[in-house]
Amino acid sequence: MYEQYAVILASLILGTIVGFILAAVCTAQFFLFLEFPFALSFPRELLFSMIGMALVTTFFAVYFPVKRINRDKIAVTIKGQSTS
């Protein structure tokens, strides 16, 4: 479960940084063509809601399969013969 959270958090951080830079460049170019002053707003509420939904979804996507696998014996799981 910790591995999945590390993957999700890394992708959230990288995606946010890359997305913000891309949005800033596109907005700056658009405002430069229209000769407007550069203004960029950051949607904090949307970012925090997406992070929350990603963490909750990751929890449920990992917890239920792991819970089901933990009921089986180790030898059965390794052989790939699930009893459920």
Which tens digits make up the pLDDT trace of 30-79? 989 988 898 878 889 998 999 999 989 988 988 888 887 777 777 766 77
Based on C-alpha coordinates, what's the Rg of the chain? 21
Using the predicted structure, report yes or no on whether residue 81 has a pLDDT greater than 70: no
Model-wide pTM > 0.75: no
Long-range contacts of residues 43-50, Cβ cutoff 8 Å, at least 24 apart: 47/16, 50/12
Q: What is the pLDDT of residue 82?
A: 59
Domain ranges of the chain: 2-79
